[in-house]
Chains A and B, each alone.
Chain A
Amino acid sequence: MNISTNPWVWFMGIGMLSLYSFIYKENPIYRLFEHIYVGASVGYAIVTAYGNIVDQAWTPLTTKGELNLIVPIILGLMLYTRFFKPIAWLSRWPMSFLMGLGVGISTYGMLNSQLIAQSRAAMMPIIAKSGDGAFLLGKSINNIIMVLGVLGVLFYFFFSVEHKGPVKKMAGFGRLVMMITFGVAFGNVVMGRIALLLGAISDIFGTWLGII
């Protein structure tokens, strides 16, 4: 055992254990370190935002004379009018600007990379062949499952036609495919959370207590 003598590491270790104590029961020590964490998060975010405002707006405006940057600075400051009731409506302008910007820059890419590219990828040969023309049974079965599966999932969410007969069967198949998909997603969530817990264990038992 090689316990660290660094006071920062001790602060980290005690803080982490205090936060974990919430699992047993909420307590004052947990609340103290929770408040420290929230303060740290917001403080760090402000520092990074300040850096961006200085580098991307203030410096080019003052040193290179890029006067057009006055517009986003004013828009950014207008965001803070939401805290003053008589002029709170002014904060809608920068919010609308961000909304329009988000829609404008993402729509084309969303159609391109999500809709068209994925639709194209869904169109697979149901008789798969290797480079030299040999029939690939396994790949063909996989391709058939994938083509029917995508159609099934889309049918499941398609409500313009009543779900009966072949449509109902297709939607039912899509539902089964989605259940397995959600199962895979759940499995990955579990694995991911365990990985995060291992990181914390490494900090406590390794960096602090020197056992690992």
Chain B
Amino acid sequence: MWFERLQNIDRRVIYTILLIVLITPMIKPIGIPLSVNSTTRQVYNLIENLDPEKDIVMMGMDYSVAGQADVHPQAVAVAKHLANRNIRNIMVSFVADGPMLAEKIIGILGDRVTYGQNIVNVGYLAGGESAIKKFIEAPGTTFINDHRGKPLANMPVMAGIKDINDITLILDFQTGSPGYQDFLRQLPAGGPLYAAGIVTVSVPNVMPYLNSGQLAGLLQGLRGGAEYEVLIEEPGEGAARMDAQSLGHVVIVAFIIVGNLAYFGSKRKGKTHGGGDKV
């Protein structure tokens, strides 16, 4: 009876428990130490090894607003790192929401960057894989004006870009399609290095490509963003949510365990009642 009641707890009780567990550490942070994954460190080292005089980074703003909570902290942290090192950053989007999110990041960077000099938001190109192919074939001439409507031709940040090999590193932040598979299909052999920042949901799917060396680095969801903030020593949204994320995982694990205990308990009780004569 007790096990049955435990199994059939109203779902709103579950929702309430989840909310309390998530909200409490957001209001009162615990400060749980965070270790840094080797794949995050790979991305960090890629940027640390860039030469501000000649290297150019293309930041793919390919995440939608639906997944921004998972990926935006990564993109902000990486953009800050690029800005701190004064690396030329060309923000391109193959997802409609991208340019507005790029503008948000440029706003956060503030005086660290000079728009047109070391950063630009070239805007969105529709077409998915076609658009990626088009940009890879002609990165310097695909966009005539940037997202703000200003001509790109005279911007120092775009100077000297004739083909994709003039770009040193592509850092693509994505929530789905177009994503890493489209890029890996279209990038030429021996072309720029490719690293990705992806939503937690997609991490398992990407691992074979990281293992094979097709990806030079990977930022894994919200935790990847938090780890990157730790590496650049500028805690932000990612680090602020890690305590809650941590406890959220633990409470889901607890739900799975308690739910199964209740299930097996009621099954056992059922067997004892039904087979009582035999016992």
Contact = CB atoms under 8 A, between A and B. Distances in A.
Nearest to A206: B26
Contact of B15 (A23, A51, A194, A211): A23
- The DSSP consensus for interface residues of chain A is helix
Contact of B185 (A44, A110, A181, A199): A110
B68 interface: yes
Contact of A192 (B72, B213, B221): B221
A109 B186 contact: yes
A192 B204 contact: no
A188 B212 contact: no
B126 interface: yes
- Range of interface residues on chain B? 35 or more
B124 A120 contact: no
A196 B26 contact: no
Interface string A16-57: 000000011000000000000000000011001101100110
B70 interface: yes
A147 to B, nearest CB: 13
Nearest to A110: B185
A113 B23 contact: no
B22 A194 contact: yes
A194 B252 contact: yes
A4 to B, nearest CB: 17
Interface in A96-124: 101-102, 105-106, 108-110, 112-114, 117-118, 120-121
Contacts of A112: 185
Interface in A185-205: 185, 188-202, 205
A63 to B, nearest CB: 9
Interface residues of A, number: 47
A205 B249 contact: no
Contacts of B181: 113-114
B199 interface: yes
A197 B182 CA distance: 28
A191 B125 contact: no
A27 to B, nearest CB: 15
A102 B129 contact: yes
Interface in B184-223: 184-186, 199-205, 208-209, 211-214, 221-223
Contacts of B41: none
B179 interface: no
Interface string B240-277: 11001100110010000000000000000000000000
Contacts of B203: 188
A134 interface: no
B125 A52 contact: yes
B50 interface: no
A184 interface: yes
Contacts of A197: 22, 69, 248
A114 B180 CA distance: 11
A204 B244 CA distance: 15
Contacts of B123: 51, 55
Contacts of A118: 208-209, 212
Interface string B65-104: 0111110100000000000000000000000110100000
B38 interface: no
B27 A212 contact: yes
B12 A191 contact: no
23 contacts: A44-B97, A48-B124, A48-B126, A56-B125, A105-B129, A113-B185, A113-B209, A118-B209, A121-B212, A188-B204, A195-B221, A198-B22, A198-B222, A198-B241, A199-B69, A201-B23, A201-B26, A202-B240, A205-B26, A206-B26, A211-B27, A212-B26, A212-B240
Interface of B: 12, 15, 22-23, 26-27, 66-70, 72, 96-97, 99, 123-126, 129-130, 133, 143-145, 181-182, 184-186, 199-205, 208-209, 211-214, 221-223, 237, 240-241, 244-245, 248-249, 252
Given A188-B201, A202-B26, A212-B240, 6 more contacts: A45-B96, A106-B185, A113-B185, A121-B213, A191-B223, A195-B199
